Structure 1
Amino acid sequence: MPDPTPTVTFNEARSRYEIDVDGVLGGYAVVEPTGAGVVRFPETVIDPAFREKGLGSRLIDEALRDAAARGQTVVPLCPFVRSFLRDHEVPGLQIAWPPGIDQG
Structure 2
Amino acid sequence: MENEIKVVDTKERSRYEALDADGSLMGFVDYRLHPGVISFLHAETLPDFRGRGVAGRIATKSLDDARALGLRVKPACPFYQDYLEQHPEYADLVKRPGEES
By percentage of residues, which structure has more strand? 1
Percent identity between the aligned chains?
31
Provide the alpha-carbon RMSD of the alignment: 1.8
Q: Normalized against structure 1, the TM-score is what? A: 0.84
State the Cα distance separating 1:90 from its structure 2 match.
3.7
State the Cα distance separating 1:58 from its structure 2 match.
1.0
State the Cα distance separating 1:89 from its structure 2 match.
3.1
Query: Which stretches in structure 1 are left out of the alignment for 5+ residues?
Result: 100-104
Q: Normalized against structure 2, the TM-score is what? A: 0.86
Q: Distance in 1 between matches of 2:82 and 2:47?
A: 19
How many residues matched? Answer: 97
Which amino acid in the other structure matches residue 25 of structure 2?
L
Which residue number corresponds to residue 102 of structure 1? none
By percentage of residues, which structure has more helix? 2
Q: Distance in 1 between matches of 2:41 and 2:24?
A: 23
Q: Distance in 2 between matches of 1:71 and 1:92?
A: 14
